[in-house]
Amino acid sequence: MYKSLEECIIDLEKHGHLVRVTEEVDPYLEMAAIHLKVFAAGGPALLFENIKGTKYRAVSNLFGTMERSRFIFRHTWEKAQNVIAVRNDPAKALKQPFKQIGTLLAASKALPKEKRTKPAAIFEEIQITDLPLIHHWLKDGGAFITLPQVYSEDPVKKGIMNSNLGMYRVQLTGNEYETNKEVGLHYQIHRGIGIHHEKAKRLGQPLKVSIFIGGPPAHTISAVMPLPEGLSEIIFAGVLAGRRFRYSYLDGYMISLDADFVITGEIYPEKTKPEGPFGDHLGYYSLVHDFPVMKVHKVFAKKRAIWPFTVVGRPPQEDTTFGNLIHELTGGAIQLELPGIKEVHAVDAAGVHPLLLAIGSERYTPYQKVKQPMELLTQANRILGTNQLSLAKYLFIAAEEDVPLDTHKVEEFFMYVLERIDLRRDLHFQTNTTIDTLDYSGTGLNLGSKVIFAACGEKKRTLCRQVPEPLKDLRHFVNPRLIMPGVVAIEGKSFTNYSEAKKEAAELAEAVQKRGGMPDCPMIVVCDDSQFVAENFSNFLWVTFTRSNPSHDIYGINETYEFKHWGCDNVIIDARLKPHHAPPLIPDPAVEKKIERLFAKGGSLSHIKI
- pLDDT tens column, 448-472: 999 999 999 999 999 999 999 999 9
Q: What's residue 212's pLDDT?
A: 98
Per the document, the length of the chain is 610
Q: What is the DSSP letter of 143?
A: -
Task: Kindly tell me if the per-residue pLDDT of 306 is higher than 80.
Answer: yes
Q: What's residue 56's pLDDT?
A: 98
Task: Kindly tell me if the per-residue pLDDT of 95 is higher than 50.
Answer: no
**Average pLDDT, whole number, for the chain?**
91
pLDDT digits (tens, 9 = 90+) for 215-237: 999 999 999 887 766 678 999 89
CA nearest neighbour of 266 among 182, 348, 357: 182
pLDDT mean over 21-48: 97
Record the pTM. 0.91
CA 144 to chain centroid: 17
Tell me the torsion sign for CA atoms 185, 186, 191, 195: positive
More confident residue, 13 or 325: 13
Give phi and psi for 550, each to the nearest 5: -45, -45
| Residues 452/475, Cβ–Cβ less than 8 Å | no
Whole-angstrom distance, CA of residue 604 vs CA of residue 49: 11
CA nearest neighbour of 522 among 559, 569, 478: 569
pLDDT digits (tens, 9 = 90+) for 480-508: 999 999 999 999 999 999 999 999 999 99
Whole-angstrom distance, CA of residue 493 vs CA of residue 507: 13
Top-confidence range, 84-88, 366-370, 439-443, 545-549: 545-549
Whole-angstrom distance, CA of residue 190 vs CA of residue 390: 12
* Collapsed DSSP state (helix, strand, coil) of residue 526: strand
pLDDT digits (tens, 9 = 90+) for 542-601: 999 999 999 999 999 999 999 999 999 999 999 999 999 999 999 999 999 999 999 999
Whole-angstrom distance, CA of residue 312 vs CA of residue 85: 30
Whole-angstrom distance, CA of residue 443 vs CA of residue 433: 10
Amino acid found at 525? V
Q: What's residue 87's pLDDT?
A: 57
pLDDT mean over 170-195: 89
Whole-angstrom distance, CA of residue 439 vs CA of residue 546: 7
Q: What's residue 366's pLDDT?
A: 57
CA nearest neighbour of 81 among 102, 95, 97, 66: 102
Q: What's residue 100's pLDDT?
A: 45
Give phi and psi for 501, each to the nearest 5: -60, -40
Distances (CA, A) of 62 to 68, 200, 310, 465: 7, 36, 9, 42
- The confidence band for 97, taking pLDDT boundaries of 50, 70 and 90, is very low
> Helical H runs in 148-249?
192-203, 217-222, 233-241
| Residues 424/560, Cβ–Cβ less than 8 Å | yes
Residues 6+ apart with CB under 8 A from 267: 185, 197, 200, 206, 207, 209, 292, 293, 294, 295
Q: What's residue 191's pLDDT?
A: 64
